[in-house]
């Protein structure tokens, strides 16, 4: 079972943010994480920064995964991180989808914990989620300051 440091089952919120409807990757990632023992909250299509933040709070998730294939990641991914931090949540945000290599450092600098591109293996997906979730709290607080 994938667990947090506290020993509970890892809770992951996965969502499409913005208008893009390419959900093949998101659905596959949801099943991979579920098969790895995570509790997956599948928010599905057309979520906004507000709905993602509200769900992250209500569902008390350990990780937020957002999927984008429409070239809007530089606007939308930092907006998701910003909205979570503004709400006082230090939940790590993972981005999956089509992201040009040059944009990856930009997203990381904006507080995204990791980017999973096309061809990521099932093991990589699970390992990346676990690594992001198991980052010490102090480190996440540092991330939060960087995002502010």
**Residues found near another protein in the complex (CB under 8 A):** 18-24, 27-28, 30-32, 34, 40, 42-46, 48, 70-72, 74-76, 79, 98, 100-102, 117-119, 121-123
Cβ within 8 Å of residue 13, ≥6 positions away: 41, 43, 52, 55, 56, 59, 61, 63, 64, 65
* DSSP letter assigned to residue 48: -
Q: Which residue's CB is nearer to another protein, number 70 or number 134?
A: 70
Q: At closest approach, how far in Å is the CB of 71 from another protein?
A: 4
Q: At closest approach, how far in Å is the CB of 133 from another protein?
A: 20
Q: Which residue's CB is nearer to another protein, number 32 or number 143?
A: 32
């Amino acid at each position: 079972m994938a667990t947090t440091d506290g020993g509970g089952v890892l809770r992951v919120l996965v969502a499409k943010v913005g208008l893009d409807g390419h959900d093949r990757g998101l659905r596959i990632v949801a099943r991979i994480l579920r098969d790895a023992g995570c509790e997956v909250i599948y928010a599905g299509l057309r979520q906004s920064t507000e709905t993602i933040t509200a769900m992250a709070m209500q569902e008390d998730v350990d990780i937020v995964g957002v999927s984008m294939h429409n070239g809007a990641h530089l606007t939308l991914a930092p907006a998701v991180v910003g909205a979570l931090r503004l709400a006082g949540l230090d939940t790590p945000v993972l981005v999956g989808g089509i992201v040009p290599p040059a944009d990856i450092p930009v997203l990381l600098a904006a507080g995204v914990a990791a980017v999973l591109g096309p061809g990521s293996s099932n093991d990589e997906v699970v390992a990346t989620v676990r690594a992001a979730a198991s980052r010490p709290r102090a480190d996440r607080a540092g991330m939060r300051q960087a995002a502010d």
